Structure 1
């Protein structure tokens, strides 16, 4: 009951932090052992999205997810799309699929002493990975993105349990934004024992699979060679990404002013290594060795990018408070302390528009 009351208060009041306060809500994505049986949820085909108001929300969520650049200048401040890190339109297991994330929220975090809804988790992605300003709870964008995530999760659960003919229940906008780890999640009675609340965040294929530590300390120099042979064809010689004739990036920048910022989860060397080993080069899982994945993750994340939006004028202080993990923010690389010449954060970029 206490958790439900906290969720209700969170959704009713919005973000209640002091002005200027930006808590560290960009928690590290779960790194878990990769299951061997491959019994993952398989979301329903996009053609099965229903007609009507609910279906329209799901379709808009899909559109915003795969083409996040349509929100550029309002909520997105770089050249990233959500699908860059959550692959195959957020459906791919072991690439932080949306169905796995949705079922892990709401979640209580002692770090900010509150329950975080799924919508708040998405807001963190906009703030950091998209170097932008997050859509408000209840906005059409937030409702759409949560509706799409819900539809993937619920459809996959129903189908996995032989209920292919059962339509995904339509729920309120408020409930959509809470997440699947809630009493209000509309599981059929016969499935409640199979998906107890405490186990819903443990679906196989969630997050990025954890890999072994490298035999040698990650090397930026070795990683540069891996980047040149395996990555730069898609991501550009200088990590700038590849743009189409319309000026949009079809392969995302990995560093520089249009990359994810210094607060994003992907700037952590270990998180990037897990993602790269499992999912890169695109469509060719596990083509690099474990050592190569760690090395190239170190190389990519040893470059300047947009500033951590929690920065208040002191890189060393910001690093001490928020960067006690495997990353280069606040550390010296080739005579330069990373973060001291960072590009503008999203709030600056978007305000310029």
Structure 2
């Protein structure tokens, strides 16, 4: 099917790559569910599927590596105890195999990196961005740059970006977890707790420990030792609010109001989790050191209003123990400053 014959009105929208009727139906369904339609000037990309990979004109060895990347992305727990020290998979936050708009689709990283990243204050490439997810979201330590697993994960990201130009000059439709407007009322912990127990606990449990069936991980832990640590992007309240609004409850996205999303995000991000690997030994000092680049958007190092608990005031690193991610705090390109 020609790009211009799709059913959804796309006046002024820029399409990347070929878009088939069957695949575009995914996006039409999103709009029907309440997601915003693409705006004029936005770049729209429908990532290829693993079924598309079978038909692709690529070397068989490359296909094998991409399949390995997909396998690692959707079942990162196979690296448990080596690179992963919590209950998360990459696909726990990046839903739909990393393809789904408004759920942190991963293909934009393949076409917008290398780029400067404020969190670590230097230019990052794709491997370094993936490594950051291991250090923070997986509460682990990343595979070595250039290793088989890192190449496989990078190849999967780049496969999803097939047909998209490098450094596109247009806004990308559905990128990240879109930030919500500031709420009319300040986010409220008590309201958020009620929403969580009514809407979220059935999958993630009342105590935030996630859901297991017959010993198998089913739904991730939003806090606690099985969750991401205090340095993960989704520990920021605005990021969690955007994720919740656009993706939760599972199968019912966009069903919560913006205010409800902010409230439940505050509740979730006000719960304890493993220590930020950048921890200096003093939570207030660590917060101050990384406030401008990160922690001004988290509850880390602040006193929880309802009970006065100083969040992050501990040395708990979860299952990881004394292991420190090798990529954290590693300076880059300092010689260029001269």
**What range is the shorter-chain TM-score in?**
0.7 to 0.9
Higher relative contact order, chain-length normalized (CA < 8 Å, sep 6+): 1
Q: How does 1:22-41 map to 2 (within 5 A)?
A: 36-37=38-39, 40-41=44-45
Residues 38 and 173 in structure 2, CA contact (< 8 A), matched pair in contact too:
no
Q: Does 1:224 align with 2:228?
A: no
Post-superposition shift, 1:285?
1.3
| Distance 1:349-1:238 versus aligned 2 partners, 3 A rule | farther
Match of 1:341 in 2: 314
Counterpart Cα distance in 2 of 1:81 and 1:196:
27
Would you say 1:58 and 2:66 are equivalent positions?
yes
Does 2:230 correspond to 1:262? yes
CA distance in 1, matches of 2:45, 2:229: 31
Partner-residue secondary structure (3-state), 1:115: strand
Alpha-carbon distance change, 110 to 312 in structure 1, aligned in 2, over 3 angstroms = closer
In the alignment, does 2:169 pair up with 1:199? Answer: yes
Q: CA deviation at 1:61?
A: 0.5
1:45 aligns with 2:49: yes
1:320 matched to 2:274? The reply is no
Tell me, yes or no, if structure 1 residue 239 matches structure 2 residue 243: no
Alignment of 1:57-96 (within 5 A): 57-96=65-104
Call closer, same or farther: CA 1:318–1:34 in 2, change over 3 Å. farther
Distance in 2 of aligned mates of 1:330 and 1:113: 21
> Does residue 152 in structure 1 map to residue 125 in structure 2?
no
Distance 1:342 1:314 in 2: 9
Deviation at residue 284 of structure 1 after TM alignment? 1.4
Whole-angstrom CA distance in 2 between matches of 1:138 and 1:36: 36
Tell me which residue corresponds to 1:280.
Answer: 248
Q: How many residues align?
A: 279
Q: Distance in 2 between matches of 1:109 and 1:308?
A: 18
Q: Which moved more, 1:77-86 or 1:324-333?
A: 324-333
Number of the residue aligned with 2:216: 248
Deviation at 1:112, TM superposition (A): 5.0
In structure 2, relative to structure 1, the CA distance for the partners of 1:92 and 1:112 (3 Å cut) is: closer
Report the TM-score when normalising by structure 2: 0.77
Counterpart of 1:132 (choices 140, 155, 162) is 140
CA 1:311–1:346: 2 relative to 1, 3 Å: farther
Q: Normalized against structure 1, the TM-score is what?
A: 0.74
Please state how far the C-alpha of 1:106 moved relative to its aligned partner. Answer: 0.7
In 2, Cα distance between the equivalents of 1:308 and 1:115?
A: 21
Q: What is the CA–CA distance in structure 2 between the aligned matches of 1:320 and 1:74, rounded to whole Å?
A: 31
> Which consecutive unaligned segments of at least 5 residues does structure 1 have?
1-32, 158-194
After superposing the two structures, state which structure 1 stretch, 104-113 or 301-310, moved more.
104-113
Distance 1:349-1:64 versus aligned 2 partners, 3 A rule: farther
**1:112 to 1:257, Cα distance in 2 relative to 1, 3 A:** closer
In structure 2, runs of 5+ residues without a counterpart are: 1-34, 325-338
Change (3 A) 1:109 1:68: closer
- Cα 1:100–1:346 change in 2 (3 A) is farther
CA deviations over 1:143-178 (Å, ceiling 9, x no partner) = 011100111101x54xxxxxxxxxxxxxxxxxxxxx
Aligned partner of 1:307 among 260, 271, 275: 275
Within-5 A mapping of 1:3-18: none
